[in-house]
Structure 1
Amino acid sequence: MFRALPEEIHDLGRRFEAAGFELALVGGPVRDAVLGRSSADLDFTTSARPDETEAILRTWTRDGGIWDMGRDFGTLGGVRNGVKVEITTYRTESYDPTSRKPQVAYGDTLEGDLSRRDFTVNAMAVRLPSLELVDPFDGLADLSRTVLRTPVGPEQSFTDDPLRMMRAVRFVSQLGFRIEDATADAIESLAERITIVSAERVREELVKLMLGAHPRGGLELLVELGLSAHVLPELPALSLEIDEHHHHKDVYQHTLTVLDQAIDLESPAGSGGPCEAPDLVLRLSALFHDIGKPATRRYEPGGAVTFRFHETVGAKMTAKRMKAMTFDKDTTKKVARLVELHLRFHGYAEAPWSDSAVRRYVTDAGELLQHLHRLTRADVTTRNRRKARGLARAYDELEARIDHLAEQEEIGRIRPDLDGNRIMEILGIGPGREVGDAYKHLLELRMEHGPLGEDRASEELKAWWEARDQG
């Protein structure tokens, strides 16, 4: 399987060997090759020191395509014919217990370097150019058993680098593996140490988890092992105590089911369709859609349980949590908006909307309409088949009406019948707040009545202006 590596890689191995140094492909690329998966990353480790690595890379790249931003950690990169590599000198590391940043010291052996890797399945290497597999910690056996286990004692491994605990649950999502019992126990006992890791690094792992093939499994372990209490406390908080009459469903399990169903509604990867898999915005909105429920739960007379305005509260909580985890503003805004809108459809299910209400639904969703379609459908987890079929039919009808109105009116780009220039011309005014107020009034009329045409819009504008002056 490793003979299929690009010829540029075999050539690189021969150059290191000729210079008297060892070179080995290491970590994820080896694991993925054994699993029959492709890997975009080509990570290597070597006995050469950075200056020696650089000298060899310069002969290999030919055009000087080298980068050395990681030199302080012993890492240099290069590219040849589109083949990118990163090469790190053998390392041994010690950690300050209060910091995740390693104190780097160069090592002397490949086996010693592999011992500091996160999990045995990532602690395998292939020597170049011989293609000899090096597996001192039985990573190959763990791969066949789909087990995550640390090369050294898990307490030492997670104390040294707490982010490895997040990587463990991330690999559960990405690879469908299970965490070996002793390793899971160590995560549970050391979970609080994740708080010394930067929010940015934790977010990166959570995103990879959410984009994996099995995010539900990763999230369940995030909660079970106590990590979520420190990085995403809103998730375990969804496990509300169920009242004796079961007047509301298990919100935590409901959320995980909604996530599963939302993923099922993604367009296939590479299809170019809406919400193409894996869609981070859709998945995060499913995860966060009900986080406002614990804060809004109320017991009404007669024993009923309500969660009034949980979508509004949840949108604010979503934005706050995503900001704390350093998500970018655009993703945060989109996810929070979907959380805010996810209940809007239920009014339609109870009584069909007017055309103006349908236009508002589309306009409020904006570019997120396809995401809202999928989130709304995924949010149906009732076991009452009749009720589920009724909701599905109602949403089918709503989507059909949206499509019909879109054909008639280009509903996704609704604008008033008059633009700002015409408003100023008709009213004889210059730029200012009044133009904006007039624009909003005409937009409301457009939403309510559909296209008015320029003549009627002009009459409505003048009538509004006169009534405004009289007021």
Structure 2
Amino acid sequence: MSEVQARAVSELLRIAPVIDELGERFVAAGEQIALVGGPVRDAMLGRLQNDLDFTTSARPEVTERLLKGWADAIWDIGRDFGTIGCRRGDWQIEITTYRSETYDPASRKPDVSYGDSLAGDLGRRDFTVNAMAVALPGREFEDPYGGIVDLAHQVLRTPGRPEDSFSDDPLRMMRAARFASQLGFTVAPEVKQAMTEMADRITIISAERVRDELVKLVCSPRPRAGLLLLVETGLAEHVLPELPALALERDEHHRHKDVYEHTLTVLEQSIDLEDRLPEGGPDFVSRFAALMHDVGKPRTRKFQGDGTVTFHHHDVVGAKITRKRMQALKFSNDETADVSTLVELHLRFHGYGDGQWTDSAVRRYVRDAGPLLSRLHILTRADCTTRNQRKADRLRRTYDELEERIARLSEQEELASIRPDLDGNQIMEILGIPAGREVGEAYKHLLELRLDNGPMSYEDAKTALLEWSAAR
């Protein structure tokens, strides 16, 4: 028995109670059912999770009836696609009727039609490593397209012609890039060629589906591999055009190294620093900020008379570009704001120089970063890709010093929740004014004093407020 098969048997034994019971219920009702796709692949890789996918001859209404009394909970959010979901103990299960789906050239949604056999269902799947099944309840292994061989060689192929597969569902081209990143597999030459020739076909896919694949890719263990594939095949021109645009630029400090390569290195270094985050990684916001931090450079590049190149304000311009791209991909407002803010702030540290910032400047740095401070620390550190070891060491020491100052001030002043020394009610009482615009202006003035001078006593803050009011 091969090592791959041994791992699969071990994993299947672990889930035997679930798959055997399901198999018996469906077969008793005259239906066929098989564990299929990702779970079979992952069982062979020894990394099976608690999400199980099945395919069946049963129509959704029959599946739902057979699950009643067995599953702890049932949902039918995927009914239009032939899928019924359920939970049994710790297992999350999806059971989908044999199907085939194709896209009309002008449509963004697949036309779903039910199939009549397991072999036919496997033939419509994206890649051979996902076109393997275990028929139940007998646990017969089905592999009509040589998925186990491709799994052993770590290569991604399609069950049939890749052109037919990608025509049926163009999102599979992005999925190839995602699997390259997730699994560390290479893409077969004919698959890569089809992706290149059909790249513009991705434009018929909804922004939400493209976004979800992009998130999975970016949050994978090796996103560089998938991103390179997107750029090389031209897919990135349609889903994230800001990335290939960076290949045309040169970094202002290391003109031998383009900004595209620099960006991928920053992303990898950002991933290496994720253990600094309170919840660890993978962290999409941190990673996507690293990927987008220099996208403002193409629009801000200027050649100087002495041959140098500048990218003034590329942080601000990049934040606007990032916000527009994330809105086009239908990201949430919160994620869009977080990533855009990090892009806008990524150069702020470089004003720190040799540690000459005042306490006021440090407070503003913390205030502007807000809850993103930990991520900003990561992005700023990851953005150092210089090969000059002395310079790299100096930058690291300087940032260490800044973090130490932030920690000291935080202990003294609770920096993360900086507020003026008087609240709105106290301002209204001292000045004898009602709620309104003047209260907001007074609050803002006191906040600036707080940032400049640190905490003040009530009496000192009251005096400062009265002086400000009198001066107005």
Name the TM tier (shorter chain).
over 0.9
Q: Answer yes or no: is 1:280 the counterpart of 2:284.
A: yes
On the 8 A contact 2:355/2:401 being kept in 1, the answer is: no
Inter-partner Cα distance in structure 1 for 2:219 and 2:15: 27
Inter-partner Cα distance in structure 1 for 2:405 and 2:252: 42
On the 8 A contact 2:63/2:84 being kept in 1, the answer is: yes
Question: Aligned to 2:240, which of 232, 235, 238?
Answer: 232
User: Per-residue deviation at 1:249?
Assistant: 3.6
2:70 aligned counterpart, secondary structure: helix
2:100 aligned counterpart, secondary structure: strand
Unaligned runs of 5+ in 1: none
Question: Aligned to 1:116, which of 117, 124, 148?
Answer: 124
On the 8 A contact 1:349/1:391 being kept in 2, the answer is: no
Inter-partner Cα distance in structure 2 for 1:252 and 1:95: 34
Inter-partner Cα distance in structure 2 for 1:365 and 1:54: 49
On the 8 A contact 2:265/2:385 being kept in 1, the answer is: yes
Q: Answer yes or no: is 1:429 the counterpart of 2:429.
A: no
* Residue in 1 that maps onto 2:422: 418
1:86 aligned counterpart, secondary structure: strand
On the 8 A contact 1:247/1:303 being kept in 2, the answer is: no
Inter-partner Cα distance in structure 1 for 2:74 and 2:148: 33
User: CA deviation digits over 1:171-195, x for unaligned, max 9?
Assistant: 1111111110000000000000000
* Residue in 2 that maps onto 1:46: 56
> Which amino acid is 1:69 matched to?
I
Inter-partner Cα distance in structure 2 for 1:228 and 1:188: 11
2:116 aligned counterpart, secondary structure: coil
* Residue in 2 that maps onto 1:204: 212
On the 8 A contact 1:100/1:162 being kept in 2, the answer is: no
Matches within 5 A, 1:61-210: 61=71, 65-210=73-218
1:235 aligned counterpart, secondary structure: helix
* Residue in 2 that maps onto 1:8: 18
Unaligned runs of 5+ in 2: 1-9
Distance change >3 Å, CA 127–CA 435, structure 1 → 2? same
Inter-partner Cα distance in structure 2 for 1:22 and 1:232: 42
Q: Answer yes or no: is 1:298 the counterpart of 2:302.
A: yes
> Which is further off, 240-249 or 200-209?
240-249
> Which is further off, 383-392 or 92-101?
92-101
User: Per-residue deviation at 1:18?
Assistant: 1.9
Give me the TM-score of the superposition, normalised by structure 1.
Answer: 0.95
On the 8 A contact 2:323/2:337 being kept in 1, the answer is: yes
Q: Answer yes or no: is 1:352 the counterpart of 2:360.
A: no
Matches within 5 A, 1:3-42: 3-42=13-52
Inter-partner Cα distance in structure 1 for 2:248 and 2:17: 57
On the 8 A contact 1:382/1:388 being kept in 2, the answer is: yes
Distance change >3 Å, CA 13–CA 256, structure 1 → 2? same
User: Per-residue deviation at 1:131?
Assistant: 1.2
> Which amino acid is 2:227 matched to?
L
Question: Aligned to 1:464, which of 452, 465, 468?
Answer: 468
2:86 aligned counterpart, secondary structure: strand
User: Per-residue deviation at 1:109?
Assistant: 1.5
2:274 aligned counterpart, secondary structure: coil
* Residue in 2 that maps onto 1:256: 264
User: Per-residue deviation at 1:429?
Assistant: 0.9
User: Per-residue deviation at 1:148?
Assistant: 0.6
Distance change >3 Å, CA 122–CA 461, structure 1 → 2? same
* Residue in 1 that maps onto 2:451: 447
On the 8 A contact 1:242/1:249 being kept in 2, the answer is: yes
User: Per-residue deviation at 1:77?
Assistant: 2.4
User: CA deviation digits over 1:108-158, x for unaligned, max 9?
Assistant: 211111000000010000111111111100111111111110001001111
**Cα RMSD, aligned residues only:** 1.8
> Which is further off, 186-195 or 74-83?
74-83
Q: How many residues align?
A: 462
Inter-partner Cα distance in structure 2 for 1:175 and 1:245: 35
Give me the TM-score of the superposition, normalised by structure 2.
Answer: 0.94
Q: Answer yes or no: is 1:438 the counterpart of 2:448.
A: no
On the 8 A contact 1:424/1:431 being kept in 2, the answer is: yes
Distance change >3 Å, CA 161–CA 467, structure 1 → 2? same
Question: Aligned to 1:326, which of 314, 323, 330?
Answer: 330
* Residue in 1 that maps onto 2:68: 58
